[in-house]
Amino acid sequence: MFGSRRRFQSRVAAEVSALFADITASVGPEQLRIRWDGLPEPVRRYLRYAIPTGALPIRTVRLKHDGFLRPALDGLR
């Protein structure tokens, strides 16, 4: 069992390294404006409220999800 745990940890470490390899990439002001304009007004309103003026850009996010995703509004999941 110890060997399989070590292999798993090694695989995870390699995947994390690959994900963070291009961490310096960012969205420029023009792309950000285009994306912002494409958001629904309630989302823009929330983001204006949630993110203070002058906040540093977010480079990485870790997301943990538990539950189901519904791929379509009329779908069950």
The predicted pLDDT at position 63 comes to 73
**Residues in the chain, how many?**
77
Predicted TM-score (pTM) of the model is 0.42
In the 8-state DSSP scheme, what is residue 67? S
> What tokens does 16 get?
């994390």
Q: What is the pLDDT of residue 8?
A: 92
| Tens digits of residue pLDDT in 11-69 | 999 988 888 887 766 666 777 778 888 888 988 888 888 888 888 777 777 777 788 77
Q: What is the DSSP letter of 75?
A: S
Show me where the domains of the chain are located: 2-50
